[in-house]
Structure 1
Amino acid sequence: MGSENIENSALKKLTKMIKIKPYNFKNLSTPIYSFLRLVLGQVFRSLFPANFTGINNIPKKGPVIFASNHLSHVDPLFMIAGSRRKLHFLAKHEHFERFLTRFVVSSTGQIKTVREKGGGEALSTASGILERGKCMGIFPEGTRSRNTEPPFLGKGKTGIARLAASYPDVLIVPVVCEGTRDFMQPKAHKFPRFWKPVTFHFGKGITWKEWIFHEKGGNLNEDELNELVNQSPEKQKQKLSGLYRRFTDQFMNTLKNMGAV
């Protein structure tokens, strides 16, 4: 069966049932962010010793989920500069309390979230970004590593899978950052250490639609998807939880194979 038929049958039904309700933004992008991305992005790439590989794996238009390991609070800045796309990230509401940090996070496309309200709000915000055809930058681990020595890569949270399942045609691009911890380690360095090399690898992306039918991924066919759609809510939740965990674990393993430590 062709992808067109698949999209218009079982997978489409399932997506409609499980899609995360998108937050309705009044004004997603600020003029300051647009200016900084276009003008200062070139300056940023020129000044800092950063190397970006796999740029050809990044679509030039349309919504994309960029998912990366997380070593430093400067990771989003390098991802924006390297991808040359207008990325949006989720940031803790504490970052918006002081003028300087509020200016920085607002100027770099970051969206305020309140963690105390749970992961649902964050996913709704991310869904709203993709719903508007924008690019979303996420860190599947949920936060920066607190380890003082390798390994730094932690267990991924399944929010990335739930988001991917809500937008099965959106490409998820794996990103691995190296060196940003030495460039500016949280709490240890007050200023960037400009001489420290930084590398960002953009890997080959995959969509949920590709993964769910792949024998090494979800390994489901359309009949099995139809069965899932018609199952009781309890059984459906159990099956989906297993798929979300498998997708997340495989994605984190991809980051590890790309060099994330």
Structure 2
Amino acid sequence: MLNFSSLLVGFVLSFRARYLWLASFSLLVLAVAVFLASMFSGRQPATVALDIGLSVMRLLIPLIIVLMIQELVSREFDRRYFLNSLTYPRSRHQLLLSRFLTVVVLTNGLLFLMALLLALLVRLIGQDYAQATPVALDYHYLLTISFMAVDLLILTALACFLAVVSSTPSFVLIGTFGFMLVARSFSAIVELLNRDASLVGNAESYRAGVGVLGYLLPDLGALDVRMVALYGTLDFIPADWFWLLLSSFAYIAGLLALAVWALQRKRFA
């Protein structure tokens, strides 16, 4: 079982790693990007601002996840903090899961703050112009943020696993962002090839090769349901949303189980 002291140590290490500075910088970047994006659309400024804001959140928060995992897990082994952490009556899986939960709490808190700031900015931008299709900042927006939270939870579990099995902290960054890029794009590539097979040569074999990724990776692209908030309709939610969420949580559980298994077998020099 997790205990409060393990979580407290994780929060202290996060704040020492300048989490507050990173969160403040992310909020500033979000505000600047949203205001600049709204200036490039004279007819739908609120829609463009919301779209760009969600994209910024989906890029910055994974970066903070990686930085926090590097500090709380990877450097635990590099700096030999485990010599102190594991001397207490605390098992290895408690140490790993407490650090995972710490990052989840911090990133979800940042997600909430960024979502709140984005909603306020979009509402402020939309006051000057009445769009034909206004954005939906009600439960449609909450649904969009909830699906994004699942996306971030998968990336956090993956980063934890990579931090345990990798020998250098930099591999956590490379592996997590590489995974994110592929998992967020492969379904869109398959759909594009289904619509127009002339885009590449030998499209059938290319599509089959990319489609194999659907059996190995979670479809993070399907978790991006921003169209629900942009146009205020639930028609853009995937028809298999229940199985999508179920498979996502199963993937999270599998990654955490692999991370715990790898940590239990890890030999410290």
TM-score, normalized by length of structure 2? 0.32
TM-score, normalized by length of structure 1? 0.32
- Structure with higher Rg: it is 2
Answer 1 or 2: which has greater strand percent: 1
Answer 1 or 2: which has greater helix percent: 2
